């Protein structure tokens, strides 16, 4: 029986495993975490909207439903292409086919001070840490006698005007204005600032101009300060510095300005493309290694003259294709080259407000927000998770209340 090893249980890896299950292959799933994380909702953990357990699902619970599939918890440190073995921190795993979908990490573009000070949202623990930090900042503001430092504690700088930055900015402002304002009646929460910094002249660059304008107007109406053509170049514990010399007194910096391929990409011996991504052939394999597929954020694949974006829909379609390609080969068949079908993009701005572009149509406001909710519930893994998330959203919609306002770890100043 031939063995397929899948590295990474993100969106691409999960799709590949589903296709390969029950096809007469020995499928080994490898990840350093024992769960699949629904990363698009991680910002809601950071803003006290959801429990972290509600957006994650155990890999072993999925694997036991997939015939011929088993899971190995390990950190992958390299690939021995000659021996056809995956090198992990515990043992070597031989393979006949290999699917690499280790994802991405945050790209700080060499800004070391920013990397030390900023929060990001890539791992499940990041959401909890960010929530602890935000709530602790308000607790400290309660007892801070210096007005300037008190306001800096309630100032939050968000870098990056893509979907993550926009969604986090809107959710954080709603948390401050509708929830924390009631929790801290003796604190002038209205003085809190949420500052969204974007290096270019627009938000949501992949969206049509009219949806970009709607997003900007909606955020500003909520009280979010949006700075265009601005770049963060330095950061300290109590301030953020911009490229033009401006200083923003702030104790919280959130970075969503870019990602790059996971460090595993640098160990493959392949000359990388932009963002450290691995160039792949039309069938998503590495040149010279037709048994090795690279999918998701790690893969650099050009289509219609441009590289595909590092987003979940691309990873899912690549994962499905890699699985089908392996099955086809075992049958002595071949598939046409991979082609991504863009079904659109969307982003939520706040309660009853979102933007979406799909199937040539544009949506905004309540309709787009409802579509966003339904699609995220659909793609979320686990019936219990869907119910818990839906109940949290319903509760917040009717009562403007977020129940997960827990400081689970004291943050050192």
Known catalytic residues are: 167
Cα–Cα distance for residue pair 368/372, rounded to 1 Å = 6
Cα–Cα distance for residue pair 290/305, rounded to 1 Å = 24
Cα–Cα distance for residue pair 100/39, rounded to 1 Å = 18
Cα–Cα distance for residue pair 316/314, rounded to 1 Å = 5
Q: Is 103 left (phi over 0), alpha (psi -120 to 50) or beta?
A: left
Please give the C-alpha separations between residue 208 and each of 79, 205, 214, 363, 403, in angstroms, as whole numbers.
41, 8, 10, 11, 35
Strands across the sheet containing 85-88: 76-80, 85-88, 92-94
3-state secondary structure of 198: coil
The secondary structure of residue 119, as a DSSP letter, is B
Residue ranges of E strands in 258-370:
259-261, 278-279, 285-286, 289-294, 299-300, 302-303, 306-307, 345-350, 353-358, 361-364
At residue 222's C-alpha, the angle toward residues 218 and 226, to 5°, is 70
Helix axes 163-174, 209-222, angle to 10 degrees: 30
Cα–Cα distance for residue pair 64/295, rounded to 1 Å = 24
DSSP string across 342-376: ---EEEEEETTEEEEEETTEEEETHHHHHHHHHHH
Cα–Cα distance for residue pair 344/292, rounded to 1 Å = 29
The set of residues, in sequence order, having a beta carbon less than 8 Å from that of 77 and lying 6+ positions away, is 87, 88, 89, 264, 267
Cα–Cα distance for residue pair 241/10, rounded to 1 Å = 34
């Amino acid at each position: 029986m031939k063995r397929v090893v899948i590295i990474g249980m993100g969106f691409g890896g999960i799709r590949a495993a589903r296709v390969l299950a029950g096809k007469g292959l020995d499928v080994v799933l490898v990840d350093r975490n024992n769960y699949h994380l629904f990363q698009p909702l991680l910002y809601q953990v950071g803003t006290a909207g959801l429990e972290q357990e509600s957006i994650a699902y155990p890999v072993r619970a999925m694997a036991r439903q997939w015939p011929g599939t088993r899971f190995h918890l390990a950190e992958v440190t390299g690939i021995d292409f000659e021996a056809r073995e995956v090198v992990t921190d515990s043992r070597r795993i031989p393979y006949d086919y290999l699917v690499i979908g280790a994802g991405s990490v945050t790209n700080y573009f060499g800004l070391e001070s920013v990397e030390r000070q900023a929060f990001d949202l890539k791992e499940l623990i990041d959401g909890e840490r960010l929530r602890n930090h935000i709530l602790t900042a308000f607790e400290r503001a309660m007892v801070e006698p210096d007005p300037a430092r008190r306001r800096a504690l309630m100032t939050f700088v968000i870098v990056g005007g893509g979907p993550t930055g926009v969604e986090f900015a809107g959710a954080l402002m709603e948390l401050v204005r509708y929830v924390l304002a009631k929790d801290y009646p003796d604190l002038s929460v209205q003085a809190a600032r949420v500052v969204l910094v974007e290096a270019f002249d627009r938000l949501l660059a992949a969206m049509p101009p009219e949806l970009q304008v709607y997003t900007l107007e909606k955020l500003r109406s909520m009280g979010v300060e949006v700075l265009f053509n601005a770049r963060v170049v330095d950061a300290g514990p109590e301030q953020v510095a911009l490229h033009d010399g401006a200083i923003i007194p702030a104790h919280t910096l959130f970075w969503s300005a870019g990602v790059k391929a996971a460090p595993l990409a640098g160990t493959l011996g392949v000359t990388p493309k932009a963002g450290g991504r691995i160039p792949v052939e039309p069938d998503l394999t590495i040149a010279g290694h037709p048994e090795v597929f690279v999918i998701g954020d790690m893969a650099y694949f050009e289509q219609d003259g441009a590289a595909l974006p590092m987003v979940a829909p691309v990873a899912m379609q690549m994962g499905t294709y890699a699985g089908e390609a392996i099955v086809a080969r075992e049958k002595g068949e071949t598939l046409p080259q991979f082609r991504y079908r863009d079904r659109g993009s969307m982003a939520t701005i706040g309660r009853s407000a979102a933007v979406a572009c799909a199937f040539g149509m544009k949506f905004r406001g309540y309709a787009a927000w409802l579509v966003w909710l339904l699609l995220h519930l659909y793609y979320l893994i686990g019936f219990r998770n869907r119910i818990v998330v839906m109940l949290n959203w319903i509760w917040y919609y009717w009562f403007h209340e977020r129940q997960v306002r827990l400081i689970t770890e004291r943050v050192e100043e």
